[in-house]
Structure 1
Amino acid sequence: MTTFMDVHHGMVGITAEQLKEAHNADLAIEGEEGVHFEKAWADPVSGTVYCLSEAPSAEAVQRIHARSGHPASEIHPVALSI
């Protein structure tokens, strides 16, 4: 499994409740692609949302996000962390 950080743009004004709903929508179907979404962060002012996940591929992450109604703008593998 690889760790991925994905970025969503255009979510200006997102609330904590909306972020939680979007995250829960991903969690509800993540197992179908072997993905596990660990955490999400948002900046309502810029409309940027970040999601951290473990998955077999970036494509698997994108398929879950797309099916949940919020496809990622960018998906980056995280090779190193401390």
Structure 2
Amino acid sequence: MKVRDGGRPFGSGNGRKVEAMAQFMDVHRGMQGITADQLMEAHQADLAIEKDESVHFERAWADPEAGLVYCLSEAPSAEAVQRIHERAGHKADEIHAVPLSV
């Protein structure tokens, strides 16, 4: 698994630094033929236990022909994302920090 972490501190307005939740995009390979029902089932498995690691899975996408699944999450670390995916039964092949979005 490749992991790129990206927690971003920000000012809380009172002079203290607070750790912001970072966003992550992860990739699952080898998912050829995945159906919408299977994608929803996997996403629900993550949602059921995400709080254990202070993770929130926002959305999931799939390309059944290419066998790729992508998940967008907010989490304290890429490792926390991976721990939830592993417990839910679908370890990510790559996890990338998303430090900038528009």
TM-score range (shorter-chain normalised) is over 0.9
Q: Which has the larger radius of gyration?
A: 2
Relative contact order higher in (CA < 8 Å, ≥ 6 apart): 1
Q: Spell out the pairing of 1:1-82 with structure 2 (5 A cutoff).
A: 1-82=21-102
Let me know the Cα RMSD of the aligned residues. Answer: 0.3
Gaps in structure 2 of 5+ consecutive residues:
1-20
For the residues of structure 1 that align with 2:66 and 2:89, how far apart are their CA atoms?
20
Q: Name the TM-score, length of structure 2 as normaliser.
A: 0.80
* Equivalences, count: 82
Could you say which structure has the higher helix fraction?
1
**Separation (CA, whole Å) in 2 of partners of 1:81 and 1:4:** 11
Structure 1, gaps ≥5 residues long: none
Instruction: Report the TM-score when normalising by structure 1.
Output: 0.99
